[in-house]
Structure 1
Amino acid sequence: MRLSIYGAARTVTGSKHLLETAGKQLLVDCGLFQGKRKEAFEMNKKLEGIEPEAVDAVLLTHAHIDHSGSIPTLVSRGFEGDIVCTHATRDLANIMLRDSAHIQEFDVAYVNKKRARQGKNLFEPLYVMDDAIKALEYFVSYNYNRIFSLNDDVNLKFYDAGHILGSAMIMVQSEGKNILFSGDLGRNHLPILKDPDAVDIPTDYLVIESTYGDRLHDNIENMEKDLGRIISKTVNRGGKVIIPSFSVGRTQEVVYALHRLFLRKEIPDVPVFVDSPLSVNATSVFRLHAECFDRETQDFLIKEGDPFGFDSLRYIQHVEDSKKLNDSDEPMVIISASGMAEAGRILHHLKNNIEDERNTVLFVGFQAQNTLGRKILTGESPVKIFGEPYEVHAGIERIESFSAHADRDELLGFVRNLKTQPKKIFVVHGEEDSALAFAESLRQITPAEVFVPEMGESFEL
C-alpha cells in the first residue's frame, strides 16, 4: 500500500491523495488549487502525479470545489471509473461542477479578450460545461455507516464528517489495513448538521486536515450574538452589511442564524438578500436532505417551517436584480459568493460598498493566502477589484465561530477518541504554520509517527 500526496500539502486547497492498494489506484478527492491565479491555473492544468487513465476510482469526501473541482479535468483526460460519495454530495456536485465549468469558461473568455487585443496567444479553459456534465455520469452514491465493497479487494465506509451537507470521512479497508481520510472535519454543536460521527473501526493510518490546527475558535454560543451586534451597529449608522460567503454550507448557516435572530426580534427589520445563483441552488439541495440535519434543526422545521426562508429574505437569481442592490442607499444585508472574494457577484458588491465608511464587510469563513478576502481582512488598502484600486473605508469584521472546520482542540479530541491510535498520521489541508503546529500538538498526545507531507511526497504503508 502506497500513499502519495498531490494536493493540500502545506496548503488548504487542491486536495488530491493517491492510494495505491491491491493493484488499484484510488484518488481521494480531486480538488482545484486556489489563490494566486496564474500559479493556481498552471497547477490545476498539470494534475501533477496523476495519470487519469490509470486511476480506478475517485473517493470524494465532499462537494467543495477545493476537493471536487478537478474531477471534470480528470474525466476529460481519460478517467472512466466510479466517483464514489454520499447521496447529498452527489446532488451538490451536480450543481457545483456545472457552476465551476461556467466560471472556467467565463474567466478565460474575459482574459482572452484582453490577450486578443494585445496580440497574445489565447488560453483554453481548464474544462467546459460538457466536461462537467460528462463527469457527473460517473457518480455513484452510498449511505453513511455501511461497509460496502468497491471491488474484491477494497471495502469502504462513510462516516458523517459534520462539515457540510453530505461530507464524509472515508475508511478504506484493504490488504488487511485500515486507512482513514478525515476530509474536512466539522465541529460539535454547530447549527443545521449532525455532529461528526465517532469512528468505530480500528484505524491503522490517518490522513487528517489541519485548517485551524494552530488556533481555537470563538465559542459557538457567541455566533448569533456577534452577528446581531454587527448588523445592528451597521444598520444604525445607515450602512449595508456585505458578507462574502461560501455558497454551500456557510450561506445556509448564516441564513438560519438570521432567521432565528429575526424571530427573537434581536436585529432591525432590514431586507436580507442572498445574491448567488449557486447559493440558491445549493439551498434547494439542503431542503432535499433534511435527513442530514441535527435534531434541533429538524424541530425548527416542524415548529417554524423552512429554516432557509423568512419574510425579510429574498434570493436573487438574475443579474439585473443583483445590480439593483447597488443602486439602493438603504441599509440591508447582502450575502454573496465567493467566500474568499475571488470571483462571483461579491466582487461587484465590494467594489460598490467598500469605500463607504457606513458599511461593514463581514467575513464568516476561512480566507486563504493571496485571496482578496485575506487582503481585506489583514488591512490592505487600497485593494484591487477588477484590476482597479479601491480604498477600504468600510468596517471590517470577522466571526470565526461560524467555521465548519474543527479547531486545534477539536481535532486533537477527534484523534484521542479514535477506537485505536494510528501507527502513522499524515497532516494535510493546512497552511504550513498551521500544519506544522498541529503536527507538534499531535506528537504530545499520540505515540503515532506524525508527518507533514510535501507536495508529491509518497509513503509506504
Structure 2
Amino acid sequence: MELTVWGAAEQVTGSMHLLEFDNYKILIDCGLDYERDTYQEENQNFPFDPTTLDLVVLTHAHIDHTGNLPTLVRMGFQGQVLCTPATADLTEILLMDAVNIFLSKQKKSGRGRGRRQQSSGPPPLYLQKHVNDTVERFVTIGFHKRFQFHEKAAITFIPVGHLLGAAAAIIEVEDQGTTKKIAFSGDIGRKNYPVLVDPEPLPPVDYLVLESTYGGKMHTKEESLEDKLVKSIEEACIKYPGRLIIPAFSIGRTQALVFSLNKIFSKGLLPRVQIFVDSPMANYATDIYRKHHDLVNDEAKDFYNREGDEFDFESLSYVTDKKESISISNYHEPCIIISSAGMLEGGRIQDHLFHNIQNYYCTILFIGYCAPGTLGNRLLRGDPIVRLRGRDLMVYASIKQTDLLSGHGDHQDLLNTVTTQSPEQLKNIFLVHGERKSMESLQSALTELNYKCDIAIKGYKYTL
C-alpha cells in the first residue's frame, strides 16, 4: 500500500491524497489550491491521470477539499465519489458558487456590434454541466456505516465536527495477508462549537494523515463566545445607535453565528436588534442544516424542542434578492449585518463595506481567518485607507476580531486526536494542511509523546 500527498503539503489549501493498493487508486479529497493569485491556471492539471483513478473520497464540503473535483470529472474520472449525505448537499452548492466566481472573473470586454467579445480573465476551471456530472457520481454513506467498496477494502466515516457532515475517513485494506488501517482526519473541529457535534475519538489505526492548521496555536479561553457577542452588540448597537457588520462564510460559520445570536436574544440578555443575513448561499446552506437536523448537537436539538427553529427568530431577516440587499443601506436603526465572504474578497459584504467603512458608528467584527493579501487582512492589520469600487476610502469604522467561532481545533485538540492512539500501534503520522511553522510545532509536540511523525512531502510516495 502506498500513499502520495499531492495537495496541502506544507500549505493549507488544495487537500489531495492518493492511496494505492493492488493497482486500485483512491483519491482522498480533491480541493482547490488557491495559495496563489493564478490559482485557476495552477489547478488546470493533475500530477496523475484522472482516468486511472478508481474512487474519490470526500472528508467534508469546504472548497479546499472539494473544489477541483469537477475538473477531475471533466478530465475523464469515471468512478464514484463517497461522502456523507450532508457533505454531498453542501458540496453541490459550493461547487455551483465556484462556477459563478470563475465566470465573474472572466470579465467581458470589446462588446458592440461587429466586434468580437473577448475575455480578460482566466477561463473557468469548469462549468455548471461539469458540476452536475460530478454530483451524479456521489454515493452517500452515513456515519459509522462500514462500506465495502473493494473485495479487499472498506471505509467508515467518523464525525469530527468542523462542518455539518464532516468526517474522518477510516480506510481498511487487506495488504499482503494483514489488514492495515489508515485514517484521513479531514479538518478536526473543536468541542462545544455551536450547532456541531464534538469530534469523536478515532478507532485504533496504523497510519494517520492529520491536518495541522492550528499546530502551535491555542484558541482564546479568556471569555466565552456569548460574552464576546453580547459585548460587541452592546457597544455597537445599544450604547451607540450604530451597526455591527460581521463578515462570515456562508456555510458553517453563518449558521453557528445565527444560533448563538438566537440564544442571546431568547435569554433576554439584550434588547432585540434587527439582524440581516445577506447571503443567498447562506440561505441555501441553512436549509441543508434543517434537512440534516439529526446531525446537529444535543444543545441545538434541545433548543429546537423548547424554542423552535434555531435559525429563525423574531428580528432576523434572510435577504433574498439584490434589491433587498441594497435597501439595507437605507435602514437607519441599529442593526447587525451578517454577510459573505468572510475575507471580504467578494460577495455582498463589499457593498456593505462601501457604505459603512467611513461610518464612525459602524463596527466590523471578523470571526474567521483572513489570508495575507485579502481586504480583510488589510483591515485587520490597520490600513487607514482601503480601495473599494475603484475608490480609496478612509477607514473610520471600528475593526475587531475574535477566534471564538473558528471551526478548527487548536493545538491541544489536535494532540487529543492523536493521544487516543497507542504509540506502539500507530506506525506513522503524516502532517498535512498547515503552514510549515504550524507543522513543525505539532511535529515537535507529537515526537515528545513518542509518536513517529513526518511532515508530508508533496509528491513523495510513502510505502505503508
Give SS of 1:37's match.
coil
Pick one of 38, 62, 65 that aligns with 1:64.
62
CA change 1:297–1:320 in 2 (3 A) is same
Pick one of 344, 351, 356 that aligns with 1:353.
356
The residue number in structure 2 matching 1:425 is: 429
Matches within 5 A, 1:32-431: 32-38=32-38, 40-47=39-46, 49-109=47-107, 123-174=122-173, 175=175, 176-200=179-203, 202-219=204-221, 222-235=224-237, 236-418=239-421, 421-431=425-435
Give SS of 1:255's match.
helix
Tell me the TM-score normalised to structure 1 length.
Answer: 0.93
Deviations 1:224-268 (A, max 9, x none): 110110111011323221111111111000000000111122234
Deviations 1:262-300 (A, max 9, x none): 112223422111111110000000001111111121111
The residue number in structure 2 matching 1:2 is: 2
CA change 1:22–1:384 in 2 (3 A) is farther
Contact map agreement 1:35 1:368 (CA 8 A) in 2: no
Contact map agreement 1:112 1:122 (CA 8 A) in 2: no
| More moved, 102-111 vs 10-19 | 102-111
Distance, in Å, in 1 between the alignment partners of 2:119 and 2:145 is: 54
TM-aligned CA deviation for residue 220 of structure 1: 8.9
TM-aligned CA deviation for residue 111 of structure 1: 8.3
Distance, in Å, in 1 between the alignment partners of 2:118 and 2:104 is: 20
Contact map agreement 2:250 2:341 (CA 8 A) in 1: yes
2:456 matched to 1:453?
yes
Deviations 1:93-119 (A, max 9, x none): 222222222222222236898xx9998
| More moved, 77-86 vs 375-384 | 375-384
Distance, in Å, in 2 between the alignment partners of 1:110 and 1:341 is: 23
Contact map agreement 2:188 2:211 (CA 8 A) in 1: yes
Contact map agreement 2:149 2:155 (CA 8 A) in 1: yes
CA change 1:183–1:220 in 2 (3 A) is farther
Deviations 1:109-155 (A, max 9, x none): 36898xx9998866311111111111100000001112211111221
Give SS of 2:77's match.
coil
Distance, in Å, in 2 between the alignment partners of 1:443 and 1:298 is: 40
Distance, in Å, in 2 between the alignment partners of 1:177 and 1:286 is: 35
Tell me the TM-score normalised to structure 2 length.
Answer: 0.93
TM-aligned CA deviation for residue 423 of structure 1: 1.4
Amino acid at match of 1:46: N
Amino acid at match of 1:76: R
The residue number in structure 2 matching 1:444 is: 448
Deviations 1:35-93 (A, max 9, x none): 5432x22222233x132111111100001111111111111111111110001111112
Distance, in Å, in 2 between the alignment partners of 1:30 and 1:335 is: 29
TM-aligned CA deviation for residue 163 of structure 1: 1.0
Distance, in Å, in 1 between the alignment partners of 2:460 and 2:376 is: 30
CA change 1:36–1:42 in 2 (3 A) is same
Structure 2: runs of 5 or more not aligned: none
The residue number in structure 2 matching 1:24 is: 24
TM-aligned CA deviation for residue 388 of structure 1: 4.0
Give SS of 2:408's match.
coil
Contact map agreement 2:110 2:117 (CA 8 A) in 1: no
CA change 1:390–1:37 in 2 (3 A) is farther
Distance, in Å, in 1 between the alignment partners of 2:161 and 2:379 is: 29
CA change 1:239–1:456 in 2 (3 A) is farther
Deviations 1:333-353 (A, max 9, x none): 111111222221112222222
Contact map agreement 1:246 1:339 (CA 8 A) in 2: yes
CA change 1:333–1:24 in 2 (3 A) is same
| More moved, 426-435 vs 160-169 | 426-435
Distance, in Å, in 2 between the alignment partners of 1:433 and 1:57 is: 33
TM-aligned CA deviation for residue 221 of structure 1: 6.2
Deviations 1:179-212 (A, max 9, x none): 1110000111212121111222x21111111111
Distance, in Å, in 2 between the alignment partners of 1:416 and 1:121 is: 51
Amino acid at match of 2:408: H
Distance, in Å, in 2 between the alignment partners of 1:134 and 1:218 is: 43
Deviations 1:419-460 (A, max 9, x none): 565211111111222222222222121331x22224333322
Give SS of 1:156's match.
strand
Which structure's CA Rg is the greater one?
2
Aligned length: 455
| More moved, 306-315 vs 430-439 | 430-439
Judging by fraction of residues, say which structure has more helix: 1
CA change 1:260–1:132 in 2 (3 A) is same
CA change 1:136–1:112 in 2 (3 A) is farther
TM-aligned CA deviation for residue 418 of structure 1: 2.5
Contact map agreement 2:109 2:119 (CA 8 A) in 1: no
| More moved, 140-149 vs 121-130 | 121-130
Distance, in Å, in 2 between the alignment partners of 1:121 and 1:69 is: 23
Contact map agreement 1:232 1:268 (CA 8 A) in 2: no
Identity %: 38
The residue number in structure 2 matching 1:434 is: 438
Distance, in Å, in 2 between the alignment partners of 1:344 and 1:148 is: 39
Distance, in Å, in 1 between the alignment partners of 2:216 and 2:109 is: 38
Contact map agreement 2:108 2:117 (CA 8 A) in 1: no
